[in-house]
């Protein structure tokens, strides 16, 4: 069964809708990838010990949701983009995979406390300011059961975009990207190990593992891959 749930009011102003379309264009590159991220394969092994319902936060076109569903987990993918969810829903139909896709924001997850056995955000909650990352983390923690597992990715200062644009706060930069001839503002916070550890400890999550990965395609992309326990 594939479900697609629309919230009552989302993006009702023309301006927000325009920005959304531009951001969709920016994320479309990731949505074209059908294989899961490498770190999800390790995470699936860790999850095996505690199978159950899992939330994919900022699921995009669902590449990680599909992988985990095929591994036998019950998956719910949440994303703010109607375009991403359309791609995910079409793939679920095509591949006859049982995933549920929900439209919403990770800043206020539309699920009750302790609903999921695990939750993860792969390259999603990292694309906002520190203040909003805090909020997204505390939402993820809220919807996971006690002792449930979490995985998050965060930007590392070794990423090629570190230091670009206007510095808004410590390791937080405002950059502009030209998308379809429009200027879109992007806020990114980059974490060194100590700051990431402090943030996660502040949210009351226990760090199980933390490693830095570098991917070099046309430029160097650097992220922390962190697994946590509530």
Ligand X SMILES: C[S@@+](CC[C@H](N)C(=O)[O-])C[C@H]1O[C@@H](n2cnc3c(N)ncnc32)[C@H](O)[C@@H]1O
The residue within the footprint of ligand X, chosen from 105, 156, 188, 227 (CB under 6 A), is 105
DSSP state, 190? B
Interface map 135-174 toward ligand X (x if CB under 6 A)? ----------------------------------------
| Token pair for 7 | 């919230």
DSSP state, 37? P
Q: Which of residues 52-91 bind ligand X (CB under 6 A)?
A: 58-60, 63-64, 79-81, 84
Give the nearest distance from C-beta 222 to ligand X in angstroms.
15
Spatial separation of the C-alpha atoms in residues 79 and 100, rounded to whole Å: 11
Nearer to ligand X, 124 or 205 (CB): 124
Give the nearest distance from C-beta 78 to ligand X in angstroms.
6
For residues 154 and 224, the answer to whether their CB atoms sit within 8 Å is yes
The shares of helix, strand and coil residues in the chain, as percent rounded to the nearest 5, are 35, 35, 30
Q: Which of residues 20-39 bind ligand X (CB under 6 A)?
A: 27, 30, 37
| Residue showing the smallest CB distance to ligand X in the complex | 60
Interface map 109-138 toward ligand X (x if CB under 6 A)? -------------xxx--x-----------
Nearer to ligand X, 77 or 148 (CB): 77
For 46-193, strand residue ranges (E) read 53-57, 74-79, 99-103, 116-121, 144-155, 166-169, 172-179, 182-189
């Amino acid at each position: 069964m594939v479900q697609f749930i629309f919230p009552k009011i989302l993006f009702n102003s023309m301006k927000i809708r325009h920005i959304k379309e531009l951001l969709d264009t920016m994320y479309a590159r990731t949505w074209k990838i059908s294989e899961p991220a490498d770190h999800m394969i390790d995470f699936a092994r860790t999850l095996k010990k505690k199978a159950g319902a899992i939330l994919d936060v900022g699921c995009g076109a669902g590449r990680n949701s599909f992988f985990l569903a095929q591994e036998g987990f019950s998956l719910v993918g949440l994303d703010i983009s109607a375009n991403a969810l359309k791609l995910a829903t079409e793939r679920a139909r095509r591949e006859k995979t049982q995933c549920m896709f929900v439209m919403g924001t990770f800043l206020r997850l539309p699920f009750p406390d302790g609903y999921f056995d695990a939750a993860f955000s792969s390259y999603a909650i990292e694309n906002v300011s520190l203040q909003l990352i805090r909020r997204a983390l505390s939402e993820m923690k809220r919807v996971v059961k006690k002792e449930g597992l979490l995985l998050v990715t965060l930007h590392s200062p070794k990423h090629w975009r570190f230091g670009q644009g206007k510095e808004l706060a410590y390791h937080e930069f405002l950059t502009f990207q030209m998308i379809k001839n429009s200027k879109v503002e992007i806020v990114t916070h980059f974490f060194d190990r100590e700051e990431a550890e402090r943030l996660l400890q502040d949210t009351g999550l226990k760090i199980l593992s933390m490693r830095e990965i570098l991917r070099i395609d046309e430029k160097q992309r650097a992220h922390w891959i962190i697994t946590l326990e509530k």
